[in-house]
């Protein structure tokens, strides 16, 4: 897939491309994507899981065992479990969020969708996500596959990035802009 290299690169891109091609050949793209989405949500909701993924202090064997237990409990596809196991064995779990992002980009390109990222102060409900996708479809003109992430430091609101366009509706940014405006008025 020569065109894939234009949207992903580096370690995360190589791993994501390998997983994408294996999932495509196994006709398990949607299943693997759902597993990765569930794993992303779990990492967003659990500081302990994020620590397991990112910590260089935790041994590769312990990381592998922890991730295997989590993926088994999730009922993840065998391909997803093997991929995460390999990433743990190779000490590459710290790049897992980027691998998932790159896999999502490849999947979106494959299915003719546009890939986007939403970072919100709180987790979005299913209805909010559906409404947001509908609005983005109107603006972009095609389906948008969203990668969501929670960042409490935004204080409120969200940032949405689709392609090279970004809309920052976060309370943090609005307060920073107000602070700048107030300094100019003084």
* β-strands 114-120, 158-162 pairing: antiparallel
Q: What tens digit of pLDDT does each residue of 76-90 get?
A: 999 999 999 999 999
What is the dihedral sign for C-alpha 69, 73, 75, 76? negative
Distance CA 149, CA 132 (A): 14
As a whole-number percent, the residues of the chain with pLDDT over 90 amount to 51
Q: Which of 11-15, 20-24, 118-122, 140-144 has the lowest mean pLDDT?
A: 140-144
pLDDT greater than 50 at residue 121? yes
The arithmetic mean of pLDDT across residues 89-110, rounded, is 91
CATH annotation of 1-111: 1.10.520.20
Q: What tens digit of pLDDT does each residue of 43-79 get?
A: 988 889 999 999 989 999 999 999 999 999 999 999 9
Residues 6+ apart with CB under 8 A from 121: 150, 151, 152, 154, 155, 156, 157, 158, 170, 171
Q: What tens digit of pLDDT does each residue of 8-44 get?
A: 888 999 999 999 999 999 999 999 999 999 999 899 8
Q: How confident is the model at residue 6 (pLDDT cuts 50, 70, 90)?
A: low
46: left (phi over 0), alpha (psi -120 to 50) or beta: beta
Contact 125, 140 (CB under 8 A): no
Residues 6+ apart with CB under 8 A from 101: 12, 16, 117, 147
pLDDT greater than 50 at residue 3? no
The two three-digit tokens of residue 173, written as one number: 């940014």
Check residue 2 and give its pLDDT: 42
Fold equal for 1-111 and 113-186: no
Other CB atoms within 10 Å distance of the CB of residue 31: 16
How is the chain split into domains, by residue range? 1-111, 113-186
The DSSP output letter for 163 is T
pLDDT greater than 50 at residue 151? yes
CATH topology of domain 113-186: Glutaredoxin (3.40.30)
The two three-digit tokens of residue 10, written as one number: 């580096």
The two three-digit tokens of residue 62, written as one number: 């312990």
DSSP 29-67: HHHHHHHHHHHHHHHHH-HHHHHHHH-SSS-HHHHHHHH
Among 54, 44, 57, 175, which Cα is nearest to 119's? 44
- Specify the higher pLDDT residue, 4 or 34: 34
Among 74, 20, 68, which Cα is nearest to 45's? 74
Enter the pTM of the model. Answer: 0.69
Check residue 4 and give its pLDDT: 40
């Amino acid at each position: 897939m020569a065109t894939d290299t234009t949207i992903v690169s580096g370690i995360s891109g190589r791993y994501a491309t390998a997983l994408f091609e294996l999932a495509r050949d196994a006709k398990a793209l949607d299943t693997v994507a759902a597993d990765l989405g569930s794993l992303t949500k779990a990492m967003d909701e659990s500081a302990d899981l994020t620590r397991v993924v990112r910590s260089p202090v935790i041994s590769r064997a312990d990381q592998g065992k922890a991730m295997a237990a989590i993926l088994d409990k999730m009922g993840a596809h065998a391909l997803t479990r093997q991929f995460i196991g390999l990433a743990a064995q190779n000490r590459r779990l710290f790049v897992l969020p980027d691998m998932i992002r790159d896999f999502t980009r490849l999947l979106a390109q494959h299915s003719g969708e546009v890939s986007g990222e939403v970072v919100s102060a709180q987790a979005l409900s299913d209805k909010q996500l559906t409404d947001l996708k509908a609005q983005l479809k109107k603006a972009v003109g095609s389906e948008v596959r969203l990668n969501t992430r929670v960042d409490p430091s935004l204080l409120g609101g969200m940032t949405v990035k689709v392609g090279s366009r970004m809309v920052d509706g976060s309370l943090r940014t609005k307060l920073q802009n107000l602070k700048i405006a107030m300094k100019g008025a003084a």
